[in-house]
Structure 1
Amino acid sequence: MAFASVKAHLIWIGNSQEIVLPKMLLQQYHLTGEVDLQPTPEGLLIKPVVKPRRQTWDARFQQAIAQGQAPEGELLEGFSDEAFEETEWQR
Protein backbone atom coordinates (compact mmCIF):
# COMPACT_ATOMS: atom_id res chain seq x y z
CA MET A 1 0.00 0.00 0.00
CA ALA A 2 1.46 3.37 -0.99
CA PHE A 3 1.13 6.29 1.36
CA ALA A 4 0.97 9.91 0.30
CA SER A 5 3.68 12.15 1.66
CA VAL A 6 2.57 14.61 4.34
CA LYS A 7 4.63 17.65 5.28
CA ALA A 8 4.77 19.10 8.78
CA HIS A 9 6.70 21.96 10.36
CA LEU A 10 9.03 21.96 13.33
CA ILE A 11 8.17 24.81 15.68
CA TRP A 12 10.06 26.25 18.64
CA ILE A 13 8.51 25.94 22.08
CA GLY A 14 10.92 27.22 24.70
CA ASN A 15 14.28 25.53 24.17
CA SER A 16 12.73 22.58 22.30
CA GLN A 17 11.37 21.99 18.85
CA GLU A 18 8.12 20.18 18.31
CA ILE A 19 6.30 18.79 15.33
CA VAL A 20 2.58 19.24 14.81
CA LEU A 21 1.01 16.21 13.17
CA PRO A 22 -2.16 16.53 11.10
CA LYS A 23 -5.33 15.23 12.75
CA MET A 24 -5.81 12.77 9.89
CA LEU A 25 -2.51 11.00 10.73
CA LEU A 26 -3.22 11.00 14.47
CA GLN A 27 -6.54 9.27 13.87
CA GLN A 28 -5.32 6.89 11.17
CA TYR A 29 -2.42 5.60 13.30
CA HIS A 30 -4.20 5.86 16.67
CA LEU A 31 -1.66 8.29 18.12
CA THR A 32 -2.86 9.68 21.44
CA GLY A 33 -1.03 10.53 24.63
CA GLU A 34 2.27 8.69 24.72
CA VAL A 35 4.12 7.63 21.55
CA ASP A 36 7.25 5.57 20.93
CA LEU A 37 9.96 7.20 18.79
CA GLN A 38 12.32 4.80 17.01
CA PRO A 39 15.24 6.08 14.94
CA THR A 40 15.65 4.14 11.67
CA PRO A 41 18.09 4.53 8.76
CA GLU A 42 15.24 6.08 6.75
CA GLY A 43 14.10 8.53 9.44
CA LEU A 44 12.06 8.59 12.62
CA LEU A 45 9.32 6.01 13.20
CA ILE A 46 6.46 7.17 15.44
CA LYS A 47 4.34 4.38 16.96
CA PRO A 48 1.52 4.44 19.49
CA VAL A 49 2.35 3.08 22.94
CA VAL A 50 0.01 0.17 23.53
CA LYS A 51 -0.55 -0.49 27.20
CA PRO A 52 -1.96 -3.83 28.30
CA ARG A 53 -5.64 -3.74 29.13
CA ARG A 54 -6.60 -4.05 32.75
CA GLN A 55 -7.69 -7.47 33.77
CA THR A 56 -11.27 -7.92 34.80
CA TRP A 57 -11.97 -8.92 38.38
CA ASP A 58 -12.94 -12.39 37.22
CA ALA A 59 -9.66 -12.86 35.35
CA ARG A 60 -7.68 -11.65 38.37
CA PHE A 61 -9.51 -14.05 40.69
CA GLN A 62 -8.98 -16.95 38.28
CA GLN A 63 -5.28 -16.10 38.04
CA ALA A 64 -4.96 -15.94 41.84
CA ILE A 65 -6.77 -19.27 42.25
CA ALA A 66 -4.53 -20.87 39.60
CA GLN A 67 -1.53 -19.71 41.66
CA GLY A 68 -2.92 -21.41 44.74
CA GLN A 69 -4.29 -18.29 46.39
CA ALA A 70 -7.80 -17.85 47.70
CA PRO A 71 -8.31 -14.08 47.35
CA GLU A 72 -11.90 -14.11 48.51
CA GLY A 73 -10.86 -15.78 51.77
CA GLU A 74 -8.18 -13.17 52.44
CA LEU A 75 -10.50 -10.30 51.64
CA LEU A 76 -13.34 -11.58 53.81
CA GLU A 77 -11.29 -12.93 56.71
CA GLY A 78 -12.96 -12.08 60.01
CA PHE A 79 -16.15 -10.88 58.33
CA SER A 80 -19.46 -12.43 59.24
CA ASP A 81 -22.89 -11.56 57.96
CA GLU A 82 -24.34 -11.75 61.46
CA ALA A 83 -21.82 -9.31 62.96
CA PHE A 84 -22.45 -6.88 60.13
CA GLU A 85 -26.21 -7.05 60.57
CA GLU A 86 -25.94 -6.55 64.33
CA THR A 87 -23.60 -3.55 64.26
CA GLU A 88 -23.94 -1.65 61.01
CA TRP A 89 -27.71 -1.40 60.65
CA GLN A 90 -28.75 -0.34 64.12
CA ARG A 91 -30.72 2.84 64.45
Structure 2
Amino acid sequence: MQTRIIRVGNSQGIVLPKKLLQQYHLSGEVDLRATPDGLLITPVLRPARQDWDARFAAATAAGEEPEEEMLEGFADASEDEWTW
Protein backbone atom coordinates (compact mmCIF):
# COMPACT_ATOMS: atom_id res chain seq x y z
CA MET A 1 0.00 0.00 0.00
CA GLN A 2 1.32 3.42 -0.88
CA THR A 3 0.31 6.84 0.41
CA ARG A 4 1.63 10.39 0.18
CA ILE A 5 3.18 12.60 2.82
CA ILE A 6 0.95 15.67 3.14
CA ARG A 7 1.28 19.06 4.80
CA VAL A 8 -0.50 19.33 8.18
CA GLY A 9 -0.07 22.89 9.46
CA ASN A 10 3.66 23.44 9.92
CA SER A 11 4.29 19.68 10.00
CA GLN A 12 3.80 16.77 7.65
CA GLY A 13 1.84 13.57 8.03
CA ILE A 14 0.20 10.63 6.33
CA VAL A 15 -3.43 9.58 6.12
CA LEU A 16 -4.08 6.01 7.25
CA PRO A 17 -7.07 4.24 5.69
CA LYS A 18 -9.95 3.47 8.06
CA LYS A 19 -9.62 -0.26 7.34
CA LEU A 20 -6.00 -0.28 8.60
CA LEU A 21 -6.94 1.74 11.70
CA GLN A 22 -9.66 -0.77 12.54
CA GLN A 23 -7.55 -3.83 11.69
CA TYR A 24 -4.73 -2.75 14.00
CA HIS A 25 -6.92 -1.10 16.66
CA LEU A 26 -5.32 2.32 16.19
CA SER A 27 -7.04 5.36 17.67
CA GLY A 28 -6.09 8.17 20.01
CA GLU A 29 -2.47 7.78 21.03
CA VAL A 30 -0.07 5.60 19.07
CA ASP A 31 3.56 4.70 19.63
CA LEU A 32 6.07 5.28 16.81
CA ARG A 33 9.32 3.33 16.72
CA ALA A 34 12.10 3.48 14.19
CA THR A 35 13.11 0.03 12.97
CA PRO A 36 15.70 -1.02 10.38
CA ASP A 37 12.78 -1.51 7.95
CA GLY A 38 10.97 1.78 8.62
CA LEU A 39 8.43 3.06 11.15
CA LEU A 40 6.43 0.76 13.39
CA ILE A 41 3.09 2.19 14.57
CA THR A 42 1.44 0.44 17.54
CA PRO A 43 -1.52 1.37 19.76
CA VAL A 44 -0.79 2.74 23.22
CA LEU A 45 -2.51 0.32 25.59
CA ARG A 46 -3.22 1.54 29.08
CA PRO A 47 -4.52 -0.70 31.84
CA ALA A 48 -8.09 0.26 32.73
CA ARG A 49 -7.26 1.07 36.35
CA GLN A 50 -3.62 2.10 36.10
CA ASP A 51 -3.82 5.16 38.36
CA TRP A 52 -6.37 3.96 40.91
CA ASP A 53 -3.77 3.35 43.65
CA ALA A 54 -2.61 6.96 43.51
CA ARG A 55 -6.16 8.30 43.27
CA PHE A 56 -7.27 6.15 46.22
CA ALA A 57 -4.35 7.37 48.35
CA ALA A 58 -4.99 11.02 47.41
CA ALA A 59 -8.70 10.79 48.21
CA THR A 60 -8.03 9.09 51.54
CA ALA A 61 -5.41 11.70 52.47
CA ALA A 62 -7.92 14.46 51.66
CA GLY A 63 -10.50 12.82 53.94
CA GLU A 64 -12.75 11.93 51.02
CA GLU A 65 -14.48 8.69 50.22
CA PRO A 66 -12.24 7.18 47.50
CA GLU A 67 -15.16 5.52 45.79
CA GLU A 68 -16.83 8.87 45.12
CA GLU A 69 -13.67 10.44 43.64
CA MET A 70 -12.88 7.36 41.56
CA LEU A 71 -16.42 7.11 40.17
CA GLU A 72 -16.43 10.74 39.06
CA GLY A 73 -18.11 10.92 35.69
CA PHE A 74 -20.39 7.98 36.46
CA ALA A 75 -22.85 10.10 38.45
CA ASP A 76 -25.73 9.23 36.13
CA ALA A 77 -25.29 5.48 36.60
CA SER A 78 -27.22 3.87 39.41
CA GLU A 79 -25.79 0.93 41.32
CA ASP A 80 -28.41 -1.49 39.99
CA GLU A 81 -27.05 -0.86 36.46
CA TRP A 82 -23.72 -2.41 37.41
CA THR A 83 -23.07 -6.12 36.97
CA TRP A 84 -21.26 -7.57 39.97
TM (normalized to structure 1)? 0.53
Aligned 1:64-83 pairs, distance under 5 A: 75=65
Aligned residues: 56
Q: Could you tell me which residue of structure 1 aligns to residue 25 of structure 2?
A: 30
Equivalent-residue separation in structure 2 for 1:9 and 1:22 (angstroms): 12
Q: Which runs of 5+ in 1 are unaligned?
A: 1-5, 65-70, 76-91
- Percent sequence identity is 62
Cα displacement (A) at 1:25: 0.4
Runs of 4+ displaced beyond 3 Å:
none
Q: Which whole-Å CA distance do the structure 2 matches of 1:13 and 1:38 have between them?
A: 21
CA RMSD of aligned residues (A): 2.4
Distance apart, 1:32 and its partner CA? 0.3
Q: Which has the larger radius of gyration?
A: 1
Unaligned runs of 5+ in 2: 66-84
Partner of 2:39: 44
User: Shift of residue 14 of structure 1?
Assistant: 1.9
Q: 1:7 aligns with which of 2, 27, 37?
A: 2
